[in-house]
Amino acid sequence: MMIGNITLGQYIPGNSILHRIDPRTKIFWTALLMVVTFLISTWAEYVMMGAFVLMLLLVSGVPIKQSIKGIKPLLFILAITAILNIFFTGGTPVFEIGPVKVTYEGIIAAVKLFLRLVMLVITASLVTITTTPMTMTDGIEKLLKPFEKIGVPSHEIAMMMSIALRFIPTLLDETDRIMKAQASRGANFDTGSIFSRIKSFIPVLVPLFVSAFKRADELAEAMESRCYRGGKGRTRLKEIHYTRLDLFVSMVGIAFIGVLFSGRIFL
């Protein structure tokens, strides 16, 4: 099932460079690389960006097969967007079947969109795969700390994001168990029209929502029993600090972006 293939929110222990750098560095550069992924346009830039993402994947020590699994749930979305680009993008026609026209520009746009989404998924997954939920919370809170002066609750936002990421694999496992239980009772999720498949998921969604609310209630009671009252005055078992490794990674990132867009500057 595709449910078990989603890697976002999962953490894989390791001692790679990406595991050891400060979470603030990872969050900042991940956000920046995702923006850069939307800015690239030429094939040379796509090749360079893809090579850089592959290098990050190899440096992280995460099996490539594990990352590819995270792309499988997006195949349906990729197929829909590819169809929209191929058949509804104007330009030089490749072939026509009645009113349906496939253009060269549409095929190019579909391929580029596929590559862009793959790079975005892998880049986003690497953050959660190489960062523990607690460290992620500390990193987000530190990044939002300056905005507390204008009333932004940095700790609460960081805690909510961390809990959401932490519960993604938990809810996916719960969904997988419910689907297997329903399948053992005769439910069919793989055949039939799109509407019948959607209808077959109703017996899965109801117990899933019940389970999600139950887990949320148990988590709230556990936090209250431990006298949790927000981030004010709280201390941390492990403080996060910038190191020379973070400076080195940042310099590599700056150099890469400079080389990536150097063609636009000099041409």
Distances (CA, A) of 108 to 40, 90, 215: 14, 12, 45
Q: Report percent pLDDT > 90 for the chain.
A: 15
Q: In which band, very low, low, confident or very high, does the pLDDT at 8 lie, cut at 50, 70 and 90?
A: low
Q: Lowest-pLDDT range, 2-11, 15-24, 82-91, 180-189?
A: 2-11
> Rounded to 5, what percent of the chain is helix, strand, coil?
75, 5, 25
DSSP code for 22: -
Give the pLDDT score at 246: 92
Q: State the pairing for strand pair 93-97/100-103.
A: antiparallel
Residue 101 has φ and ψ, to the nearest 5°, of -130, 125
Distance (Å) of CA 76 to CA 134, 260, 264 = 33, 31, 34
Encoded tokens for 84: 């929209």
* The pair of three-digit structure tokens given for residue 155, joined into one six-digit string: 């700790």
Query: Could you tell me the two tokens for 23?
Result: 């979470």
Q: How far apart are the first and last CA of the chain?
A: 48
pTM of the model: 0.74
pLDDT of the residue at 98: 67
Max Cα-Cα span within the chain: 69
d(CA 166, CA 205): 20
Q: pLDDT tens-digit profile of 54-89?
A: 999 888 887 777 667 666 666 777 777 777 777 777
As a whole-number percent, the residues of the chain with pLDDT over 70 amount to: 84
pLDDT tens column, 165-219? 777 777 878 888 888 887 787 777 666 666 676 777 777 888 888 888 888 888 8
For 4, counting Cβ atoms within 10 Å of its Cβ (0-12 exposed, 13-18 middle, 19+ buried), the class is: middle
**Between residues 264 and 213, which one has the greater pLDDT?**
213
In single-letter form, the type of residue at position 253 comes to G
Confidence of residue 102 (pLDDT cuts 50, 70, 90): confident
